[in-house]
Structure 1
Amino acid sequence: MIRGLYTSGWSMLANTRKLDVITNNMANVNTTAYKKDTVVFESFPSVLTKRINDTRSPLNPSGNIGSMQLSSDVGEVYTYYTQGQLAQTGSKLDFAIKDDGSNIDTSPAFFTIGVMDEGGNNNSINEYYTKDGSFTINANNQLVTKEGYFVLGEKGPVTLSSAEFTVNEKGEILQNGEIVDKLRIAQFSDAAKLRKFGNNLIQNTDSEAVDFTGSVVQGYTEQSNVNVVDEMVDMITVMRAYEASQKVLQAQDSSLEKTVTEVGVVR
Structure 2
Amino acid sequence: MGTTNYVSLSLATALERSIDLAAHNMANASTAGYKAQHPLMEAVDPSNSGDSTQAVNYVKEKGIFVDMSQGTMVPTGNPLDVAVTGEFFLGFEAPGGETAYGRDGRLTIDTDGQLVTMGGSPVVDISGAPITVPTESGTSVTIALDGTITDQDGGTIGRIGLFSVDNPNLLAPIGNGMFLAGGANAEQTEEGSISQGYIEQSNVQPVVEMINLMDIQRAYERAVKLMNDENDLTKQAIQRLGRVV
TM-score category, normalised to shorter length: 0.7 to 0.9
1:218-248 alpha-carbon deviations (Å, 9 max, x no partner): 1101000001121122112212211211221
Distance, in Å, in 2 between the alignment partners of 1:169 and 1:188 is: 20
2:216 to 238, 248, 262: 238
Q: Provide the residue aligned with 1:128 in structure 2.
A: 100
Matches within 5 A, 1:188-199: 188-199=165-176
- Poorly superposed stretches of 4+, deviation over 4 Å: none
Deviates more, 1:20-29 or 1:211-220: 211-220
Is 211-220 or 16-25 further displaced after alignment?
211-220
1-side partners of 2:112 and 2:177: how far apart? 24
Partner of 2:190: 212
Amino acid at match of 2:77: G
1:206–1:14 distance in 2 versus 1, CA, 3 Å: closer
Q: Which has the larger radius of gyration?
A: 1
Task: Classify the secondary structure of the residue corresponding to 1:157.
Answer: coil
Per the TM alignment, residue 264 of structure 1 is displaced from its structure 2 partner at its CA by: 4.2
Cross-structure match for 2:7: 7
Q: 2:43 and 2:191 mapped to 1: Cα distance? A: 38
Q: What amino acid does structure 1 have at the position aligned with 2:197?
A: G
What residue is the counterpart of 1:88 in the other structure? Answer: 75
**After superposition, what is the alpha-carbon deviation per residue over 1:185-232, rounded to whole angstroms, capped at 9, x for unaligned?**
112344344343322112223325363322111110100000112112
CA distance in 1, matches of 2:95, 2:216: 40
State the match for 1:160 in structure 2: 133
In structure 1, how many angstroms separate the alpha carbons of the residues matched to 2:209 and 2:81? 28
Name the structure 2 match of 1:22. Answer: 22
Deviations 1:40-80 (A, max 9, x none): 111235279xxxxxxxxxxxxxxxxxxxx662121111111
Q: Does 1:112 align with 2:85?
A: no
1:227 aligned to which of 181, 205, 212 = 205
Q: CA deviation at 1:5?
A: 1.8
Residues 1:79 and 2:51 aligned together: no
- Matches of 1:25 and 1:82, distance apart in 2: 14
Q: Which amino acid aligns with 1:211?
A: T
**How far is 1:97 from its partner?**
1.0
Structure 2 unaligned regions, length at least 5: 49-55
TM-score by length of 1: 0.80
2:234 maps to 1:256: yes
Structure 1 residues 95 and 150 mapped into 2: Cα distance closer, same or farther (>3 Å)? same
Q: Report the Cα distance in structure 2 between the residues aligned to 1:235 and 1:154, rounded to whole angstroms.
A: 40
Does the Cα contact within 8 Å between 2:75 and 2:198 map onto a contact in 1? yes
Match of 2:148 among 144, 161, 172: 172
Q: Match for residue 42 of structure 2?
A: 42
RMSD of the TM alignment (CA)? 2.2
> CA distance change for structure 1 residues 116 and 196 in 2, over 3 Å: closer, same or farther?
closer
**Residue 203 of structure 1 pairs with residue 176 of structure 2:** no
SS of residue paired to 2:224? helix
Partner residue of 2:118?
146
Q: Could you list the per-position Cα deviations for residues 67-108 of structure 1 after superposition, in whole angstroms to 9, with x for gaps in the alignment? A: xx6621211111111110011000011101123xxxxxxxx2
Deviation at 1:6, TM superposition (A): 2.2
2:142 counterpart letter in structure 1:
T
For structure 1, list consecutive stretches of 5 or more residues without a partner in the other structure.
49-68, 100-107, 118-124
The total of aligned residue pairs comes to 233
- 1:181 alignment partner, one of 151, 158, 171: 158
Contact 2:163–2:186 under 8 Å retained in 1:
no
Report the TM-score when normalising by structure 2. Answer: 0.87
Q: Distance in 2 between matches of 1:87 and 1:206?
A: 29
